Every structure is written in C-alpha cells, then in structure tokens.
Amino acid sequence: MPSERKTYKALNRAMGKALRRYQMISDGDRIVVGLSGGADSLSLMWMLSERRARIPINYDLFAVYIDPGFEGSFAEALEAYCGQLGFALRVEYTDYGLQGHSLTNRENPCFLCSRLRRRRLFEIAAELGCHKLALGHNKDDVIETLFLNICYAGEISTMVPSQTLFQQRFTLIRPLAFADEDLIRRFAKDQRFPDFENPCPTAKTSKRQEIKSLLQQLYRSNQKIKGNIFRSMSHVKLEYLLKS
C-alpha cells in the first residue's frame, strides 16, 4: 500500500542518515542486535536485515534477548516469532529485573536492570566475536535521556548515536537515533509485529515515563519544540553555560 511504502521510505531515510553520519557499519562487521520485544528493536532488526540485500556492504547480525526474569515472560513467543522472520534469537534467562526491584535497590530499579542487561550483551558480543552492539533507541529516547540527566543526574548529557567503549574494543550504535517514535510505531503496525506486553512492574511508572508525559505536553503546545530540542544537542554554546 502507498502509505506503508511511504512509512518504510521515511524510516529507511532516517536510519540511513544516522548510519552515514556516524559511519556505523563497515564491511565485515559482526553485530549483536539487542532485542527487547518492542517495536523499536524489532524494526531495527528488520531494517538492518533487509538493508543487507541491497547494499555492497556485508555484515552479520546476531539477535539477542536478555530476559529480566519477571513472571509473564514472552521470551519463547519472541523466539518463535523471530524464527518466522527468518533469523535465530539467542535468549538469555536472568534475574536482572528481580535484582533491580529488590528491597536494597528501591531508588532506581531501571538503572541497575539496564546496566546488568547491557553488560551481558557486551559479554555475549565478545563470545560471538562481535565488536558492535546495535540498540533500538530512537529520537524520542535521546531527548528523554537529556531531560532525565538534567532532572535526576544534574548534568547535560544524553545517549549518542555511536560510542566506542572499553578502550575501543566495542562500538555501541543506535541506527534509529534520528527516527521519531511515532514513525517506528507506524512501521511496526504496517509489518504487523506482535505486541509483546512488558512484564516489568514499573514499566508504566518509571522516571522515563514521567519525562515522556511532560514532553508530550510541550509538543502539543508547539509542533516545533521537539525538533528544536533535538537540534539543540548539536548546537551547544559552551560560553553560555556555567563553569564547574
């Protein structure tokens, strides 16, 4: 359908812009793609897989899902669906979510769970001989992280589209960093991706969700605000910031 084609082209254009600007993928790369079961990571895996057939660059993809250990896991359903799409999914069963929500870590369960899952992804990447890890964070995630860090960490920073880590042993890439969340949602709907319900008990009450709601109010008041916030992160005037 024309609308589906238009959505695909818009998402492909946004991803291509990020890939080119940050030179994210090179010939011969072996890349772990972290799947969460959400629209973002499924769209990322689909787009990166589809892209290989039409560009003169060869790279290998390895999909990995870190199960946080909550009751109501969708790991088996996600693994079966990935098989239908034509790629194997490695599932790692952990208790990271339970550790994050333990009585000794009530302050910020999301931070600990996320850190543990990220660490395991890098460990798996090393096992597979991969030097790159691709995650499905989008433009909205980048903006929300900026506000989260300002409000709760007291610093001006965000997640970047490409970042070398561990003495340049690994590169973390976010090919969807220039893609709007709404665009990805439309693409996922067009592709009829299943809707896996997040079993995390604080998924709908996290600090990120609070920031998302606040930003949505701003966006409704002026349609230029979102674009202006995103552009501001690459137009920083240090002379007009306070000295530490």
Cα distance between residue 120 and residue 97, in whole Å? 13
Cα distance between residue 45 and residue 32, in whole Å? 10
> Side by side, which strands form the sheet with 132-134?
89-93, 59-67, 29-35, 132-134, 170-173, 162-165
- What was the pLDDT predicted at 91? 97
**Is residue 43 within 8 Å of residue 136, measured between CB atoms?**
yes
Please list the pLDDT of the chain residue by residue as tens digits (244 residues).
578 999 999 999 999 999 999 999 999 999 999 999 999 999 999 999 999 989 999 999 999 999 999 998 999 999 999 999 999 999 999 999 888 888 777 667 788 888 999 999 999 999 999 999 999 999 999 999 999 999 999 999 999 999 999 999 999 999 999 999 999 999 999 999 998 988 888 877 788 999 999 999 999 999 999 999 999 999 999 999 998 8
Those residues with Cβ within 8 angstroms of residue 93's Cβ, 6 or more apart along the chain or in another chain: 67, 69, 75
- What was the pLDDT predicted at 107? 67
- What was the pLDDT predicted at 106? 65
- What was the pLDDT predicted at 100? 82
- What was the pLDDT predicted at 202? 81
DSSP annotation of 151: I
Domains of the chain: 2-240 (3.40.50.620)
Q: What's this model's pTM, rounded to 2 decimal places?
A: 0.94
